[in-house]
Amino acid sequence: MNFFPQLRSCSRLAAALLLASTAYAAAPPVLANQFGAKGDGVTLNTASIQRAIDSAARTHGAVSFAPGTYLTGSLFLKSGMTLEVPEGVTLIGSQRLEDYPMLPTRVAGIEMTWPAALLNVRDQHDVTVTGTGTIDGDGPIWWKSYWDLRATYEPRGLRWASDYDARRPRLILLQRSTHVRLGGGILLKRSGFWTVQVLYSDHILIDGVTIRNNEGGKGPSTDGIDIDSSSQVEVEHADIDVNDDALCLKSGRDSDGLRVNRPTTEVKLHDSIIRHGAAAITIGSETSGGFRNIEAYNLTALAGVPSGVLFKSAHTRGGTATDIRIHDLNLQGVAIPIHMTMNWNPAYSYATLPPEVKDPPPYYITLTTHVPEAQGLPHFAHVHIWNIHATGAKQAFNVSAYPNATLDDFELDHLDIHAATAGTIANASHWTMHDNSIVTTDGSSVKFTDAPIAPGTAFGDREPANQPR
């Protein structure tokens, strides 16, 4: 069955976006240096680089740089232009929050005002970012600000607020934009927060990016590529080393995500490697808008990546994920090849306002707005997972949902998993499992149960309630 009529071949989207970008950016690039930019690593170049961008946009041209390191705050790319970051060039983000203007966006699933990213494509079309140079968020100062804030918040019951109150710039934001191409061998490193967020956008190609967010420390919540309530997105030839989600699909959080109600649809993720990160492929935990027609394949995840296929949500998120295809994954030392939980990280997922918090900001009210159970339970259905090769796993399956919101109509076949133990699957309805080889050190078989389980829970000898058919 073909879920992707618009994305039938990888080359069709790539070719269309390439033709569109080259049609606009036919003129030779102008150097930002001609507008006063200095690659000395000290001069703040925001205004001069922006002047070069604005000039190039008027002729649908390109901006490039002489070799050097260019310190800058937020830059805003324009329709019909190309930004080239050639070898020998580094754009490095300012460490001053005032160099990132506060603008409306969505962060971690809710719409709010937040610092602009280092590179922004907002309400634009036909934009290309390419080159073999480096875009560096200079992340450690932002990472420290987060850990310092979280240390004071957790004792107060405000763990859930840490990500929202620690205002850390993203590296690249594509928001309400169309026909954008990012890649060409570019290095993205040390992002303050998420590295690439594709938000409310369509016809996006990310081809040939290397992401390194663990240089100089472990960057918290430094997701690699987040595709957020967007459609017709393709990611290929990514090499990712991060400290959170690597390739991740999102669609809003709780009451605000249900209000926006915008799904992520028609996405392909393929031919990429995850060296460190939460999983080879993640859906959630922001699931409120739902997901349709998703395919992930030819992904490799190395030892230290805790999960292979990771579905995560919470009983306040809601949303429906359907028509998901994941296949041909190579998992080397990944702890849990098939990992699904609908009760993800409760300290983060469930926000309650401590009584001592007076005059909370509006987004605290948004985050703590009650979601009725009928709207809050997430639903995953019509999922096909096949050709998964996993060695050195600790637990083949760790799957949990709810008795009144089961994981429905899954097909898993041609799994070749070597693990210490088989693990458990809870609340699975109408699962088909065939042609699989699950080899376990302890000789165990997968246990099915109708009781919800928490990640890592061990089960006794209870008879499985939902056998695969």
Tell me, what's the pLDDT at 304? 84
Any idea how long the chain is? 469
User: Count of alpha carbons within 13 Å of 452, Cβ hemisphere only?
Assistant: 15
DSSP E strand stretches across 29-143:
30-31, 40-44, 62-64, 68-72, 75-76, 82-84, 89-93, 102-107, 110-115, 119-122, 125-130, 134-136
pLDDT at position 5 over 70: no
Share of the chain above pLDDT 70, in %: 91
pLDDT at position 22 over 50: no
For the segment 266-323, what is each residue's pLDDT rounded down to a tens digit?
999 999 999 999 999 999 999 999 999 999 999 999 998 999 999 999 999 999 999 9
Average pLDDT over all residues of the chain: 91
DSSP β-ladder status, 125-130 and 82-84: parallel
Answer whether the bond into residue 285 is a cis peptide, omega within 30°.
yes
Q: How confident is the model at residue 453 (pLDDT cuts 50, 70, 90)?
A: low
φ, ψ (nearest 5 deg) of residue 324: -110, 130
Q: How confident is the model at residue 183 (pLDDT cuts 50, 70, 90)?
A: very high
In which element (H, E) is residue 235 found?
A: strand 231-241
DSSP β-ladder status, 428-434 and 437-440: unpaired
Q: What structural domains does the chain harbor?
A: 5-449 (2.160.20.10)
DSSP letter string, 338-400: EEEESS--HHHHS----TT--S--HHHHHHH----HHHHS-EEEEEEEEEEEEEEEEEEEEEE
Question: How far is 201 from 105, CA to CA, in rounded Å?
Answer: 12
How many Cβ atoms sit within 10 Å of the Cβ of residue 355?
7
Tell me, what's the pLDDT at 462? 27
Question: How far is 36 from 53, CA to CA, in rounded Å?
Answer: 12
φ, ψ (nearest 5 deg) of residue 229: 50, 55
**Can you tell me whether residue 147 is helix, strand or coil?**
helix
How many Cβ atoms sit within 10 Å of the Cβ of residue 208?
16
8 A C-beta contact, residue 395 and residue 338? no
Instruction: Give mean pLDDT, residues 147-152.
Output: 96
Tokens of 375: 């709207």
How many Cβ atoms sit within 10 Å of the Cβ of residue 354?
10
- For the entire predicted model, the pTM comes to 0.92
Which position has the token pair 């310092």? 148
Which position has the token pair 């458990």? 424
Tell me, what's the pLDDT at 43? 98
Tell me, what's the pLDDT at 463? 29
Question: How far is 243 from 214, CA to CA, in rounded Å?
Answer: 7
CA distances from 56 to 25, 31, 76, 182 (A): 9, 10, 12, 18
Question: How far is 121 from 261, CA to CA, in rounded Å?
Answer: 22
Q: How confident is the model at residue 466 (pLDDT cuts 50, 70, 90)?
A: very low
φ, ψ (nearest 5 deg) of residue 57: -65, -30
Instruction: Give mean pLDDT, residues 35-58.
Output: 98
